[in-house]
Amino acid sequence: MNKEFFDEEFTDKLKKDGWEKVDAGKRFADYNNYCTIFKKTQSIMHEFNSCIIDSPETPVVSRVSEHPPICDKKSEKGVVDSLIPSTTPLSYKNYFNASFEFLNEMRVISKANIIIRCCCCWISNNNILSYNLSYIIDDFITTILIFPFNDINKFLDFNFIIGIVLDIMNIKRNYSNECFLYSYINKLDVDGTPIVSITNDYSVAINNGLYAFINNKPTSIIFNNSENQKQYLININKTKYTIHDVTILTDMGLKLFSSMTYKSEKHKNFIFNKNLKCREHSLYTCKPIRTLFSSYHKSGKNYFYCCNLSIRDISAFNCFGNDSYLTLGKSIGMKLFDYSKTKFESNFYKNLQSVIEFSPSMYANFVCDYSHAGLLYMSIIYGVNHPIPATLMKGACAVAKNRIMNELSCFSDDYYNFIYCGVSKSRNTTSVKGAYYDTKTTLKSINHDCATLNLLAAKSYRGGFNCCFSVDLHHNYQTFDYDLASAYPTAMCLIPNIDWNNPIAERIINRKLTINDFVVDGKISPIAPIFACVTYKFPADCKFPNLQHHKQDDDEAPCYPLEENTGVYCSGPELYLALQQGAEIHVIDGIVANTLKTNGSVVYPYRNFVKELVSARCNASEVYGKDSLFVKLFKYITNTLYGKISQSVKLNNTKKVGPSDITCATSATMITSFVRSVLFAAFIEIEKAGYTVYSCTTDGLISDISMTEFEKMELFGFKDLLLKSRQIITEEEDPEIWSIKHRQTDLYNINTRANVSLKPEGVIAKQSVSRKYAHLDKEDVINRTAFFESAATRTGCLFSEYNTYTSFDDIKQGKQYFVEKETKYVSLAYDMKRKPVESTLKPCYSTINGVTYEIAHIETTPYKNNNEFLMYRKVRENHKSLRTVSEWKDFFKELNDTPDEVINSETTISDNDLWKMLCLCIAGFKSGKWDIPYLNQEISVAEKIAWIQSKNPSKTHDFTKKTWDRMSEKRYKDTPITKERVSYVLNMLTENESLPK
């Protein structure tokens, strides 16, 4: 907004609502000419519903007053003493009566840290409406609004924004004349020895210095700055000064930090600091960054704040799966106004300029709600002005590591690394090539046996199984969406620690696998710790072969064929289930591992802390309600810790991330194998009982079987293990194993991640297709109906809108932050994870709002081998709908006309691979790796893009201006590319191509 907008009328409107105008201060210039600042301090209790608030049973350590703290501008002590961390985060009713030891251990209460909530409101991609900051002192929360005058200075300086907030907080400043001593030499004694004088006045030293300091030592050499030898006229000695630990709490931190200028050299380098990291559009620091901020309220340019600055992003701590400030605020009981009920309705946030013009008070109250929700949410989890870990799971992972160390009686990190996963950071290690978690970690296996086992385990690692078994309208009968209760935590409690002192019980080489290989302590165990490279063959009538074809880069649509002759890496649970189905399994190379025992009992490293988290969640549900913050928090931590166990286990990991504190290849592999095996066991028994499985996703399935019948199934022995684990976790005699997540009588099963019911309690998954009505929840009946109609009338791909953001590398290069809408095309055609059976093809019909839709019914069966799978996938690329019987018939016609040499070809390239090749070709051209003659001509960028799109081999991606620009980014230009890797597409772009006229 322009300067004239913030007139007396604007000021009076805010003052009536309790806001106070604040002097913007001076430093080289009067900042009141660049912005206007308002602040408001109110009791934290004012923010919460009265039914939740009560006095704390344990008083806080910091000062408690009945009125907001008043900053004495003459005092240099200010309120710094009030920033001692509280013994309880906030004064809320009974919030800490329950014993949450895990959460308390995640908190660091020994050290104060000034937490400043910092965000901004944009009018557009290049215009700031206000910078919004808030902080807590005692039981009061203060909000500061900084409105820049966009007609004078569009963006304000980073140094000013943080410095003025520290001024308003009135914490202790440093005065450079008191912090630094300056040594100078203006005379020599009779022997020619330099006489050093010391002053705290810089100007005295600089004006009286005559002789030079060289290498910090006084000399009798007259100072001459033009000399090649480094000389200094004065020598600066630092004395003790106050350092504050400050954390800036953001959301969309890249947007915030790109909305500021960086005038000082120190702050210009801030964004290039190696400890500042970016994840998508969120920023965080690995370690605090030491930096200085100027004071603007204290006269003179020599007052400053020295800070150890940390950046944290609220999105890394959100356990609700929803970034809305309303979700966070309501989870902690805040009183929040529903701004959608104003004249601006659902477009409120997009029309903030109109809001502030209509009512400055409404705008200011909205900013308070938005800013306070995040700050109070974090304060409840970690405490007021307490240090915050880089992410929620980093803190939880550190606590989990401590629990595992206790279970394993570890006395040091080095011993823990060895006894937990057989690795070491020592350089003097014996290792098989590739026998560690990924290529970027320094953790290496401690010896050859450990290396061999870790390598087999890592190669055996697979993700969850997702598949659509029947494409159809399943109407007029009941279907259920079942979830395996706490699938991964349940599996974690069954996984033993390996005895890394003696990891190999038996080496299996070139022989048949039998059920006797699964005998553990005299009994057959479905979860025997076996890791092996095998070939296999299932019986021809097997409906659910559960061993995957071995291709590490084919996770998008892995094939589970009836036979595999080239070798696939698998682990115990899935091999056990395959034998139960009559599969013939030949082991090329494998290991049966020894489990760690203490006093004859097997050690289960995850069991106690999983039980602790589940117990805390139950307690929180009883005390605060099932939808409360702590219930969601403990559920999120429990379910997500598995991801930390598997972090960087995958050998072809491309992310720049190393192993976590609790990464373990053998555990990660066994956990996922167990969950997949439970699902496959359920498929098999459901079908044998005469029911149907329609779809599955990682830890659940959709079927027409009733819960009563489902619970009777033994699951080939996996049920006993599930019961045992659930009994340990829940301490219940007959715990729940399965739960019903959705139920419906109108299931439209489209694809693996696409199905919909029009019932509010029914399932809906949209395979990344965006909501037609964005202001409504995806589960709203209106959005359900819109998605059904789009899927049921499609003749090709559906478009989906998504946001793209300026990259971190672009921001470093000085480019302006922006958000753009881009469109991608989503094919809902069946993904061919299983073989569609032509003889089952028939039409089905559904009538909605008077319109009848035809949907083809088709059933599936396993592929015989991977070549058959690749052939079906290749033909599918030319059929982007596959909705009606006619479209399916066209598919089968092309399939039947495909020559045998294509069927047996090993050069089948997926659509995604073709798109990646095209992008790499253009990135290589832009970085000078090779020449594409057509693009070298003096033609417009639009013409180049149109030509590239005309050559685009992908059926599902469009080459746009945005794609062209992205290919210049450092991450693409620095990608290792060889001509051989992209030759298929590069030849298309370079051969027989006439140049433009």
192-230: pLDDT as tens digits: 999 999 887 878 888 899 999 888 889 998 888 776 667
Map residue 417 onto helix, strand or coil: helix
Residue 159, phi-psi category: left (phi > 0), alpha (psi -120 to 50), beta (remainder): alpha
CB distance 465 to 679 below 8 Å? yes
Q: How far apart are the first and last CA of the chain?
A: 50
In angstroms, the CA 814 to CA 317 distance is: 29
Q: Tell me the C-alpha to C-alpha distance, in Å, between residue 573 and each of 527, 713, 736.
A: 5, 18, 22
Long-range contacts from 209-212, C-beta under 8 angstroms, 24+ separation: 209/184, 209/185, 209/233, 209/234, 210/184, 210/185, 210/186, 211/185, 211/186, 212/185
Residue 878 backbone dihedrals phi, psi, to 5 degrees:
-90, 5
Residue 417 to residue 443: CA distance in whole angstroms: 9
Residue spans of alpha helices (H) in 836-897: 866-876, 885-897
Length of the chain equals 997
pLDDT tens across 714-761, in order? 999 999 999 999 999 998 888 999 999 999 999 999 999 899 999 999
Asked if 425 and 414 count as a contact pair (C-beta separation under 8 A), the reply is yes
* Identity of the residue numbered 791: A
Residue pair 411/465 in contact (Cβ under 8 Å)? The answer is no
| Contact (CB, 8 A) for 143 and 132 | yes
Q: What share of the chain is helix, strand, coil (3-state, %, to 5)?
A: 35, 25, 40
Judge contact between 788 and 765, C-beta under 8 A.
no
498 and 529 Cβ atoms separated by less than 8 Å: yes
The residue with tokens 């005299």 is 522
Indicate the angle between helix axes 572-580 and 665-688, nearest 10 degrees: 20
pLDDT at position 96, please? 34
Partners of residue 866 on adjacent β-strands: none
Gap between the Cα atoms of 885 and 854, Å rounded: 8
Question: Per the structure block, which two tokens stand in for 390?
Answer: 């880089």
CA distances, 424 to each of 134, 431, 597, 646 (Å): 44, 11, 21, 18
Burial class (CB in 10 A: 0-12, 13-18, 19+), 565: exposed
The DSSP code sequence of 185-254 is: EEEE-TTSPEEEEEES-HHHHHHH--EEEETTEEEEEEP-TTSSS--BSSEEEE----EEEEEEEESSHH
**Inter-helix orientation angle 392-407/607-624, to 10°:** 130
CA 637 to chain centre: 13
3 state SS of 343? coil
Residues 6+ apart with CB under 8 A from 162: 116, 246, 248, 293, 307
C-beta of residue 808 within 8 angstroms of C-beta of residue 313: no
User: What is the longest distance spanned by two Cα atoms in the chain?
Assistant: 111
Model pLDDT for residues 129-184, shown as the tens digit of each residue: 999 999 998 888 999 999 999 888 778 899 999 999 999 998 888 887 777 788 99
**What's at 233, amino acid-wise?**
L
Residue pair 306/290 in contact by the 8 Å Cβ criterion: yes
Helix or strand (DSSP H, E) at 742: strand 738-751
Distance from C-alpha of 818 to C-alpha of 574, rounded to nearest angstrom: 47
> Rounded CA gap, 256 and 89, in Å?
27
Structure tokens at 823: 């469109």
Could you give the 3-state DSSP secondary structure of residue 509?
strand
CA separation for the pair 253, 262 (Å, rounded): 16
List the beta bridge partners of residue 506: 592
Q: Which helix (H) or strand (E) holds 948?
A: helix 941-951
Q: Which helix (H) or strand (E) holds 175?
A: strand 174-175
d(CA 717, CA 518): 13
Q: Which two tokens stand for residue 992?
A: 């027989």
Q: Contact at 8 Å (CB) between 201 and 302?
A: no
Residue with tokens 């059933």: 859
3-class state of residue 553 by DSSP: coil
**Host H or E run for residue 382:** helix 360-382
- How would you class 109 by CB atoms within 10 Å of its CB: exposed for 0-12, middle for 13-18, buried for 19 or more? middle
Quick one: pLDDT at residue 690? 95
Q: Could you tell me the two tokens for 190?
A: 């009779």
Range 629-633, long-range pairs (CB < 8 A, 24+ positions): 629/319, 629/331, 629/332, 629/377, 629/380, 629/381, 630/98, 630/100, 630/103, 632/319, 632/320, 632/331, 633/103, 633/319, 633/381
Residue 191 main-chain phi, psi, to 5 deg: -90, 0
CB-facing half-sphere around the CA of 771: CA atoms within 13 A: 13
Are the C-beta atoms of 536 and 584 separated by less than 8 Å? Answer: yes
Instruction: Check: CB of residue 211 under 8 Å from CB of residue 231.
Output: no
What are the residue ranges in the chain where pLDDT is below 70? 49-99, 109-110, 124-126, 227-229, 238-239, 299-301, 426-442, 550-557, 651-656, 899-910, 973-976, 978, 980-981, 991-997
- Alpha-carbon span 469 to 471, nearest angstrom: 7
Tokens of 703: 């079927």
pLDDT attached to residue 491: 96
How confident is the model at residue 801, as a pLDDT?
83
Q: In angstroms, rounded to a whole number, what is the distance separating the alpha carbons of residues 498 and 603?
A: 9
| Amino acid sitting at position 518 | F
**Is 418:500 a contact under the CB 8 Å cutoff?**
yes
Whole-angstrom distance, CA of residue 184 vs CA of residue 200? 11
Residue 129's SS3 state is: strand
What pLDDT, on a 0 to 100 scale, did the predictor assign at position 611?
A: 94
Q: Is 1 exposed, middle or buried (0-12, 13-18, 19+ CB in 10 A)?
A: buried
- Chain-centre distance of CA 531, in angstroms? 30
| Residue 685 backbone dihedrals phi, psi, to 5 degrees | -75, -35
d(CA 534, CA 737): 32
